[in-house]
Structure 1
């Protein structure tokens, strides 16, 4: 089943279960997907939908950090519950060993010699890792590998 259909089915289930948090989060996700489709006049593939969901999770993590710094744990908890719902629709995260193996193979595949080849390596890794690992951590691993 395509990811967009899965989101719509879960939206119906959340309506029937009267789960307001889940329903609201799914509606936000569907709205963000629809907005991108309208803006770019395209139909998003599952990979592009995962990219939208990844961006939403990243925004919520940033918000959690800001709320916790301001002492607003109640708002941070709301954001955390939204992350939990969004992660249900994302691919399984990669383990640290799997990420390290992918980085090593990408460095070999790109025939990278130094930091000037980091863009090539990240270009190879991005489609494989998108939504399954934190790109900041992956970037740090690549930098370490190329140094």
Structure 2
């Protein structure tokens, strides 16, 4: 079942349950996916849908960080709720240990030995963890292991 049909089904359930927060987030996700389909001129494959979801999640995490810096707890709580809803549509997230294993394998594969080769390692790691790990988390682990 495609992500769009899942979103449509969940949107109907949210309407019936009168869950306005969930309905709003689902509509935003659906609109983002449909916009990408229009740009591409075709239906998106799973990987492209995952890219859209990851982008939506990143936007919300960035917003959360900014709201917390500005001491706007009211807005931060709203964004936390949105993040929880978006997470339902993303694949299970990798643990730090699993990310470390992937990064270590990438370092071995690329032969990277110094922080200067950070880009090489990230280029190998990111496609493997796409949608399964936060980029900032991966970034930190790569920097740590290249030290």
SS at match of 2:102: helix
1:116 CA drift (Å): 4.3
Question: Match for residue 84 of structure 2?
Answer: 84
Q: CA RMSD in A?
A: 1.8
1:141 counterpart = 2:141: yes
Question: Match for residue 8 of structure 1?
Answer: 8
1:88 CA drift (Å): 0.3
Q: What is the TM-score with the length of structure 1 in the denominator? A: 0.88
1:69 counterpart = 2:69: yes
What does the per-residue CA deviation read over 1:44-85, in whole Å, with 9 as the maximum and x for residues that have no partner? 222221221121122112222222333322221111111110
Q: What is the TM-score with the length of structure 2 in the denominator? A: 0.88
- The total of aligned residue pairs comes to 147
Question: Match for residue 22 of structure 1?
Answer: 22
1:140 CA drift (Å): 2.2
SS at match of 1:62: helix
Question: Match for residue 49 of structure 2?
Answer: 49
1:112 CA drift (Å): 2.5
Contact 1:14–1:22 under 8 Å retained in 2: yes
- Paired with 1:145 and 1:75, the residues of 2 have a C-alpha distance of 36
After TM superposition, where is structure 1 displaced by more than 4 Å over at least 4 residues in a row? none
Q: Please, which runs of 5 or more residues in structure 2 have no aligned partner?
A: none
